[in-house]
Amino acid sequence: MFRAIKYSLSLAAALTANFSFAAWDDLNMSPGATQLSQEIFGLHMTVFYVCLAIGIAVLLAMAFILFKYRKKEGVKPADFDDSTALEITWTVLFALILIVLAVPATSVMIKAYDDQEGDINILITGHQWKWQYEYIEDEVGFFSNLSTSLDKRNNLAPKDENYLLEVDEPLVIPTNTRVRFLITANDVIHSWWVPDFAIKQDAIPGFVNTGWTYVNEPGVFRGQCTELCGQYHGYMPIVVKAVSPEEYSTFIRDKKEAKIQQALLTEKLWSTSELMEIGEGIYQKNCVACHQIGGRGIPPVFPSLVGSEIVMRNKARHIEILMEGVQGAAMASYAEQLSEVEIAAVITYTRQAWGNAETGDGKIVIPKEILDYKTNKL
Amino acid sequence: MSAVIDSHHDDHHHGPAKGFSRWLYTTNHKDIGSMYLWFSLVMLFIGGAMAMVIRAELFEPGSQIVSPEFYNQMVTNHGLIMVFGVIMPAFVGFANWMIPMQIGAPDMALPRLNNLSFWILPVAFGILLSTFFMEGGAPNFGWTFYAPLSTEYAPPTVTFFIFSVHIMGASSIMGSINIITTILNMRAPGMTLMKMPLFVWSWFITAYLLIAVMPVLAGAVTMMLMDIHAGTSFFKAGGGGDPVLFQHIFWFFGHPEVYIMILPAFGIVSHIIETFSRKPIFGYSSMVYAIASIALLSFVVWAHHMFTVGMPIAGELFFMYSTMLIAIPTGVKVFNWLSTMFKGSLTFETPMLFAIAFVALFTIGGLSGIMLAIAPADFQYHDTYFVVAHFHYVLVPGALFSLLAAAYYWIPKWTGKMYDETLGKVHFWMSFISVNLTFFPMHFVGLAGMPRRIPDYAMQFADWNMMVSVGAFLFGISQLLFLFIVLKCIYNGKAATTEVWEGAKDKGFEWTVDSPAPYHTFSSPPSMESLKSSS
Ligand SMILES: [Cu+2]
């Protein structure tokens, strides 16, 4: 009932004043930020104008016929039913129009399909429901998650300009450099689309597709996953930040730095409360989507972590689940996505929170154990 | 042999049986046709209700009424139901009613098969819909059910889905065999193939398409079944399989399937335009050749649904060119319809209104189809609302409008009563306005970058989406009016004449029998002489 009222109110608002259409330029494709995207935009406009012209001609002819030949007293309809000459004429006409369209289409296609190596090569892996970026030459990488808060999605906080199009960590690429993307997926098929680059490539498990770009001006470019990939398909945006080559080198240096820091942290001695603090943050960011705030999940699909056998008493299996994921279920491996510290912290957090420490064995996990797990596997 | 037929004739009673067993055991093409049509009308409201849920969820940005998971179930089942449960069975319903009457045959060639092919359909959809009440929920992987989302990552109910698709396929194949057999063997003397009514031609070709591709679909779902339960790896990358193979197989079925849903519409619209123009159809033989070439081309264009899977460039170009070619026969049809109306004497009864809207709006859908065929531009269009707009333009004001037109056109012949013309026109204008309000803005949000199949969207798409939702609700309500008009016609319509439409009796055998058409028509074949205009 409340919803019905809310709907009719917003409906009334929409129909009266609120149809502002502030963004009339949002009616069309964006010309984008690269030469290729502009050529594709040009091609789109050419085809569009041709189709528009045909459409208008047909509809006008039709309107004319409908008006002129409506039934009138004493006017007999004609009874012709054929005209080979006419039919050949328009068939040839259609063929000519299509050839006119096919020529530019072919040449743009050939440009888009240039798959030489890039100056920088980035491996993009689609996961349910986040993107992973790895800079192949520099051996650094990270995951990029939606950063729009649940409150905004649930209408509890006002939405802003980049609602659903913002991430915790954008992909950074340098300007004036040929960047090649190698695109694949880890679970189901996703599709990596950045409209401003005119790149849309399916990310398919077992395949590596390529796309490339060459951006001239710094800027932030946003896109989304465009292949249905499960329940949070609408929540895995893409943000690419193009920066000057100097800024880019700093970015890569910082990333390498951070990687070394991480390794050191693993060796440090950790207290339960330190782990709990980090763990809670990790849980909010990575686990609530399925296991929910409060850890009770949505059984039977997403199990409750409160009072779970594994969480309360089976530490080894608990580590294994986080490291390996569960085959055939939505529970993915976090071995790549989270650092040793983070994994240890989130395990500790789930074993301590929600009363699990009291009902279960209350064992904590330290980063060293995760590192050992990894080493033993090798 | 003849003795058997004779003894059958002896105890032949000339009316339907009473009660439910009439419908359960019937072998009468008219009864079965009616059941197909009622079935698809019911499914239209079920699939339509799902569309309403989708549009309510998308009314505004932010999570509204359903979870993302349930949203995916709605999207999936809306598509499956509309394609397999509404458009296809409705055309089969018209085929059942009209093909025997249009070719002067007493019934379908294989009446018991006919009964079976109908009755397994409610079973198939009963199974599909029952998954909503099962653990894990209904199928949620889109009507295109791409692996591995539909195999390794599917809810357990996928097995029911596979079973249901198998049954639907069997029903279609049996129906097609029946239609082809009827057309080839039971035409009135003198009705050569090139004198067949266009609706019969369109179904003749459609039936062959169905026989060709339904087994391919069955193959695809069987491979899925094996991957899920028998440990094979057809589509499992981890086991050496190929997820893209699924898409090739699916679209090898799927693209002809698209034409299966539009070719019979071409036939229907040709008849209606001809009747209300009071002129013979223009370019009969090119109409037939156009349908045939569209059908043939439909087998070599499938990968235009897959321009972004990473095909080699030769593949991209081949599928781009072959797809563009389809525009030629399609354009021929549109021009022929216009030429049929040219210099005619046009009146605008409800069937004609729907048929004219079909031509106009199908043209829009066809033109956006040409845009989508341009492979490099499709990198930007693919899997956005631009595609959603395109295929809804060809399926709703396309296929669905042709079905509504056909219902208004033939219902006086079926029931012997006229529908309420004023209400019919109201229904038309409500549908026409709301269908454009619903689907036209989708072009804009698509071009502006809104992906399809998402339960929530970025702020810049908000205004248009609200407009789309308003249009969709109006369209939904308009179809309730259709149900009312049909019921009013059946229970309360004014008596219809034999001819029904001015000058129609030259246009086909169906207009030479009484209204309502007797339970058994043409126990002796009619003569082609009775149709003056068939040259
Ligand atoms: Cu995705």
- pLDDT of B1 reads 37
Would an 8 Å CB–CB cutoff place B315 in contact with chain A? no
What's the whole-number mean pLDDT along residues B185-192? Answer: 92
What's the whole-number mean pLDDT along residues A48-73? Answer: 92
Q: How many residues does chain A have?
A: 378
Of A52, A78, A206, the CB nearest to B237: A206
Whether residue A204 and residue B244 make contact (CB cut-off 8 A), yes or no, is yes
What's the whole-number mean pLDDT along residues B18-41? Answer: 91
Q: Is A200 helix (H, G, I), strand (E, B) or coil?
A: strand
Residue A275 has pLDDT above 50, yes or no: yes
Of A223-237, A303-317, B398-412, least confident by mean pLDDT is A303-317
Residue A4 has pLDDT above 60, yes or no: no
Would an 8 Å CB–CB cutoff place B503 in contact with chain A? no
Report ipTM (2 d.p.). Answer: 0.89
What's the whole-number mean pLDDT along residues A144-171? Answer: 91
- pLDDT of A15 reads 46
Cβ-based burial of A22 (10 A; exposed 0-12, middle 13-18, buried ≥19):
exposed
Whether residue B448 and residue A27 make contact (CB cut-off 8 A), yes or no, is yes
A57: chain B residues, CB-CB within 8 Å = none
- pLDDT of A268 reads 77
Catalytic residue set of B: 78, 107, 143, 171-172, 255, 257, 259, 270, 304-305, 330, 333, 452
Whether residue B328 and residue A94 make contact (CB cut-off 8 A), yes or no, is yes
Q: Where do the domains of chain A lie, and which CATH numbers do they carry?
A: 26-73+82-112 (1.10.287), 120-262 (2.60.40.420), 268-377 (1.10.760.10)
A62, A235, A292, B111, B323 from B359: Cα distances, Å: 9, 39, 51, 34, 20
Strand partners, A134: A123, A141
C-beta of residue A200 within 8 angstroms of C-beta of residue A193:
yes
Residue A322 has pLDDT above 50, yes or no: yes
- pLDDT of A23 reads 47
Residue A42 has pLDDT above 60, yes or no: yes
- pLDDT of A19 reads 44
For residue range A323-376, what is the model confidence (pLDDT) as tens digits?
988 877 788 889 888 888 899 999 999 999 888 888 888 788 888 888 888 877
Residue A67 has pLDDT above 70, yes or no: yes
Residue B330 has pLDDT above 80, yes or no: yes
- pLDDT of B6 reads 43
What rounded mean pLDDT belongs to chain A?
87
What's the whole-number mean pLDDT along residues B10-22? Answer: 67
- pLDDT of A25 reads 61
**Between A357 and B1, where is the model more confident?**
A357
- pLDDT of A356 reads 87
Q: Where do the domains of chain B lie, and which CATH numbers do they carry?
A: 31-533 (1.20.210.10)
A61, B414, B423, B488 from B420: Cα distances, Å: 31, 15, 5, 8
- pLDDT of A22 reads 43
- pLDDT of A240 reads 96
What's the whole-number mean pLDDT along residues B196-203? Answer: 96
Whether residue B68 and residue A78 make contact (CB cut-off 8 A), yes or no, is no
Q: Quote the minimal CA–CA distance from A347 to chain B in Å.
A: 25
Residues 361-390 of B with CB under 8 A from A: 363-364, 367-368, 370-371, 374-377, 379-380, 382-384
Of A15, A62, A195, the CB nearest to B360: A62
Residue B471 has pLDDT above 60, yes or no: yes
For residue range B61-110, what is the model confidence (pLDDT) as tens digits?
999 899 999 999 999 999 999 999 999 999 999 999 999 999 999 999 99
Who's near A152: CB < 8 A, 6+ residues apart?
Answer: A158, A159, A160, A163, B62
Distance A341 CA to ligand 1 centre (A): 27
Share of chain B above pLDDT 90, in %: 85
Q: Is A284 helix (H, G, I), strand (E, B) or coil?
A: helix
Size of interface A-B (CB pairs under 8 A): 298
Instruction: State the pairing for strand pair A237-243/A171-174.
Output: parallel
pTM of the model: 0.85
Residue B263 has pLDDT above 60, yes or no: yes
What's the whole-number mean pLDDT along residues B186-197? Answer: 92
> Please, what's the largest Cα pairwise distance for chain A?
102
Residue A20 has pLDDT above 60, yes or no: no
- pLDDT of A236 reads 94
Per DSSP, B307 falls in state: T
Residue B516 has pLDDT above 60, yes or no: yes
Omega cis (within 30) before B302: no
What's the whole-number mean pLDDT along residues B384-395? Answer: 96
- pLDDT of B14 reads 59
Residue A2 has pLDDT above 50, yes or no: no
Q: Is A150 helix (H, G, I), strand (E, B) or coil?
A: helix
Ordered DSSP codes for B230-272: S---SS-GGGT--HHHHHHHHHHHHHHHHHHTTHHHHHHHHHH
Separation CA B158–CA B139 (nearest Å): 6
What rounded mean pLDDT belongs to chain B?
92
Distance A45 CA to ligand 1 centre (A): 29
What's the whole-number mean pLDDT along residues A12-18? Answer: 45
- pLDDT of A80 reads 81
What's the whole-number mean pLDDT along residues B367-393? Answer: 95
Phi-psi group of B142: left, alpha or beta (phi > 0 → left; psi -120 to 50 → alpha; rest → beta):
left
Residue B222 has pLDDT above 90, yes or no: yes
What band does A24 get if pLDDT is binned at 50, 70 and 90? low
Whether residue B339 and residue A83 make contact (CB cut-off 8 A), yes or no, is yes
C-beta of residue A310 within 8 angstroms of C-beta of residue A322:
no
- pLDDT of A353 reads 87
Separation CA B376–CA B309 (nearest Å): 13
- pLDDT of A197 reads 94
- pLDDT of B13 reads 52
What band does B411 get if pLDDT is binned at 50, 70 and 90? very high
Whether residue A205 and residue B313 make contact (CB cut-off 8 A), yes or no, is no
Of A203-217, A348-362, B223-237, least confident by mean pLDDT is A348-362
Q: Quote the minimal CA–CA distance from A113 to chain B in Å.
A: 7
Residue B409 has pLDDT above 80, yes or no: yes
Q: Quote the minimal CA–CA distance from A339 to chain B in Å.
A: 25
